[in-house]
Each structure stands twice: as structure tokens, then as C-alpha cells.
Amino acid sequence: MISTIKHIWKIANIHRGMRFSILILLVWILTAVAAPILESYFGLAFDGLRPENGLLPPFTTEDGAFYLLGTDYLGRDLLAGMIHGARVAFVVAMVSMIISLVVGLSVGLVIGYYGDSGFKKNIVQQIVIGLAFLVGAYYLISMISDGFTIYSIFPFLGVLGICILIDRLLEMLPIKKYGVPLDIIMQRLFELREGLPGLFIILSLAAIFSSQSIYTVSIIIAVLYWMTIARHARAETLHVKGEDYIMSAKSGGVSDFRLLFYHILPNAMPSIFVIIAFSFGGVILLESSLSFLGIGMPVEEVSWGKILAGARKTPKAWWLAVFPGMAIFLVLYAFNNLADYFGQYQRRADQIDKR
């Protein structure tokens, strides 16, 4: 993986388009991370309502204040809104992608490695695992809908630990073991997800959650994206697990956990990097779309999508559409451009391996 990053850095030094994309993402990330500092240092605030200063065009000075990007219809500084919107987009993208990566990679690796017969459990274990999954899913949905906090995850982890302990004890029973059809189950779930419109899933999840927050939007987006990562992780696992070095390590007594996360995953990541880059762009676009429609995001939260939605009320205020629209476009362009370069690098690497 380190060699892949070094090679990508070399490509960035050659291709101007990739350097431009990295520069855009660096500016976006630094703005998001330093948003509180920028707002306090420059005295920017998007919560001050001044209707008398509403819809001021860019580069306007009013009441001793200079509005670089103008104001919205309530007189709030658009520059402050753009900075805060960058932070919201960054937090939503990172949280949703971390959840998607952890769940998607874990599921994809497991179903790709074990298939339909490699994961063997006796009938009692299968019943207990099924019941534990249903109870855990119900508790997780209830926990999230009632308002997620860091402390509410501990009971869930406790129940999970008890289920693992019970599974270990049931492993000792002298009962014939059968292969659990993990691959078939997940493939049917993937097909079910593909058959349902994304907007239907979003509206259903938004109705489940009683609280609206940035993390609510992140979880909704993660539910839509983890299966995409899981499908590609499964495909890469099926491709890698047949390699000679994997078979040699397995015959040498290497544990399945070490095979999955120390041997298969690093070799599968170069191809998954392409999906991650594309997914980041899709997450930013989806977050802006949900904010534009007023789904999931709190009323007081500022985002690029909400600023863009304000342009519908006042079509003559072109700056309310141009600046957030340009920010969304540039971030999407940067991620898609990076994904394209990652794909080119992977195709060249595959051609070299075939030779």
C-alpha cells in the first residue's frame, strides 16, 4: 500500500490535472478543519440576522462590514456560510465513508473469502447468531432513532461480546456443522438494494430517525454506500484469495483473520481506492442534495445545499447559486479526476502483472 501511495505521488508530480485536484481537496480540507479559527479570526458569523442588509451583492460594504461574497435574504454573510458549509460537507463525507468502509470492507472480505460453505456452524449456533442479529439490528435502530450518543454504543458492544462468548461455548457441542450461505444471503441483499430507489430508502430512513443532525445524514448516506464497497471488496477478495502466496500462507497455518486483513486486504486496496474516490464525490453530492431538499439536516445547520436552496426564493441573487454550486462542482471534479487517475494506474499495473 505504501508503494502505491508513493507511485501516486510520482504521478501527481507529472500530471497537472492530478495536482490541481489535490490542491482543490487540500484547500477544502484545510478550510473545513480551520473553519472555527477562520470564523473567529475574521469575525465571520452566519447566525446574525440583519434583514436590512439582505441580498447584498459581492464586494459590498455596509455598516462598516465588508461582504466579500455578499449576503443572503436574511443579511447573513455568505462567506461565513460557505466556510461552515465546507466543514459540514467534510464531516458528513468522513463519517459516512468511515462507516461505509468499515462495514463494506469487513462484509466484502468475509463473504468473498468464505463463500457459501467456508463459514461452518452447527444448527444451534446458526439459530443463536440469527436471533442475535435481529435483536442487535432492532437495538441499533432504536438507539439511533432515539438520538445517538457515544455512551449508547457501550450496551450494544456488551451484547455483542456476550453473543461472541455464547458462540464460543456452543462451538464445543458435538453437533454436525453446516456451511452458512453468507454469499447467497448478501448477494440477495445487494439485489434488493439495487431494486429499490435510493430516494425511497432515504425517505424511509429519515422517517425512522427522530432527531436531525449531521450524523443522521451521515448514517443515511452510509446505508446507501456500504454495499457498493462490499461488492467490490468481495470481487477483489475472490480474485486475490486464489493466488499462490495466499494458498501457501493458509497451508502454513496462518489464521483467517491474518489472511484477510494482513494479506488479502492490502492487495485489494489499490482497486478499492478508485471506488473510494468516486464514493467521496457521490457522498458530497448526496449530502448537498439532501440539504437542498431539507431532509435530515437540522434547520439551524448551514450547508452548501441549503445556501443553494435559498437561490430559489430570490432568483436575482445569482451569488447564492454560483458560489455554493461552484464549490460543489470543484470538489466533485477533484474526486472524480483522482478516481480516473487511480483507475489508469490500476489498469497499467494489471497489464504489467499479466506480462
Give the 3-state secondary structure of residue 71. strand
pLDDT at residue 145 in the model:
64
Strand partners, 77: 71
AA identity, residue 214? I
Cα 232 to its chain centre, rounded Å, is: 15
pLDDT at residue 251 in the model:
81
Q: What are phi and psi of 253, to 5 degrees?
A: 95, 15
pLDDT at residue 24 in the model:
92
Contacts of 153 (CB under 8 A, 6+ apart): 143
Domain ranges for the chain, please list them.
Answer: 2-118+182-354, 120-179
Contact (Cβ atoms closer than 8 angstroms) between residue 109 and residue 177: no
Reference 104, options 8, 287, 234, 266; nearest CA is 234
Question: Whole-model pTM?
Answer: 0.84
* Architecture per CATH, 2-118+182-354: Orthogonal Bundle (1.10)
pLDDT at residue 9 in the model:
61
pLDDT at residue 6 in the model:
61
Q: b vs e for 29-46, b when ≥16 Cβ sit within 10 Å of the residue's Cβ?
A: eebbeebeebbeeeebeb
Q: Which three cell numbers stand for residue 99?
A: 462507516
Question: What is the rounded CA–CA span in Å between residue 242 and residue 203?
Answer: 42
Tens of pLDDT, residue by residue over 24-54, are: 999 999 999 988 888 776 656 666 667 777 7
Question: What is the rounded CA–CA span in Å between residue 280 and residue 325?
Answer: 17
Contact (Cβ atoms closer than 8 angstroms) between residue 84 and residue 77: no
pLDDT at residue 12 in the model:
60
pLDDT at residue 28 in the model:
93
pLDDT at residue 294 in the model:
84
* Residues of the chain with confidence (pLDDT) below 50: none
Q: Which three cell numbers stand for residue 17?
A: 490535472
